[in-house]
Amino acid sequence: MPLQSRSAITAIGSHVPQRVLNNEELSDMVDTNDEWIVRRTGISERRIAAEDEFTSHLAIAAVRDLLSRYPTSTDDIDGVLVATTTPDNPFPSVASRVQEAFGFKAALAFDLNAACAGFVSALQTANGLILTGMYRKILVIGAETLSKITDYTDRSTCILFGDGAGAVLVERAEEGQFLASHAMTDGSGGIHVYASGLSSDWNGQPLAGDGRIVQNGREVYKWALSTVPDGVRSLLQDSGLSAEALDWVVPHSANLRMIEAICERLNMPYERALTSAAEYGNTSAASIPLALDLAVKDGRLAAGQTVALYGFGSGLTQAGLLLRWAF
């Protein structure tokens, strides 16, 4: 739908753990090899958090990076939203740990779990809060330590997932830069990608994995290809823009082969997709901000460009946002 907006992204930062897990190392752990992984996923390596390193540490480091690159007052930051499926603890929230680290004086702080759609959902939420007139400056963070819930004996999933965090500052703007929004959920498909928790069954069906990620990759792939292109088209239609007017599409970096297929269905060159999977793997809620920051750092993403962000994943949930990049 067309989006009423008074918001703009004005700063960005990111952080990934030091340890690199490449495809060659994975081939020593499970029956796989570099050629097979790259051909199937496009992923070459991923970052892995240390044993004593958790999602809050990555989120805090990403905010520090943002503040070091785009100096701004922190006294008036009045909201912290963290999109994550891997919080340090069920509670308190990762967002409250970020607030503690920086001492924001009067900040709403909460975590949001929409899996791989989480970062875009958090941006939509931040814009809604700013529209109330009660908030002016909100940190939106996507952060994950998926390695802590990955089964490294399952070659179908362990080749995919990595850890990282990206943060943006969303501020009230005279002319909002968020142009259109889209969201949809098909909860009946939730069984296709999950990690069990307090409940060990899904509508009477026993859950596997013992808290580790379980994914039916074939079903998720089919669902994404059958729905994501239409979601991006909906954003363009609602904004009155053509696909040719779109400078970049930034899908969730689940699998680069999936993104190639999505671009093909959109009649869009793959070179116009911003991704982070080759370097960092599938980082769920962190994948889109990591892709954005890679493009900012190498100069591909510039002020005035039109960008479609599109997250999709467990739930099965999707969230899209069309925006004009502000810096």
Percentages (nearest 5) of helix, strand, coil residues in the chain = 40, 25, 35
Number of H helices and number of E strands within the chain?
Answer: 10, 15
CA pair distance 228, 266, nearest whole angstrom: 10
CA pair distance 124, 7, nearest whole angstrom: 10
For 102-247, strand residue ranges (E) read 108-112, 137-145, 163-172, 178-185, 193-194, 201-202, 205-206, 214-215
Q: Which of 116, 158, 182, 255 is catalytic?
A: 116
Residue 245 DSSP code: G
CB-CB contact of 150 with 210 (8 Å): no
User: CB 160: neighbour CB atoms within 10 A?
Assistant: 24
Residue 185 has φ and ψ, to the nearest 5°, of -140, 140
Q: Which of 15, 252, 255, 263 is catalytic?
A: 252
**Does residue 252 have an active-site annotation?**
yes
Beta pairing partners, 168: 12, 140
CB-CB contact of 46 with 280 (8 Å): yes
Pairing of strands 306-313, 248-251: parallel
CA pair distance 88, 103, nearest whole angstrom: 19
CB-CB contact of 190 with 115 (8 Å): no
Catalytic residue IDs: 116, 252, 282
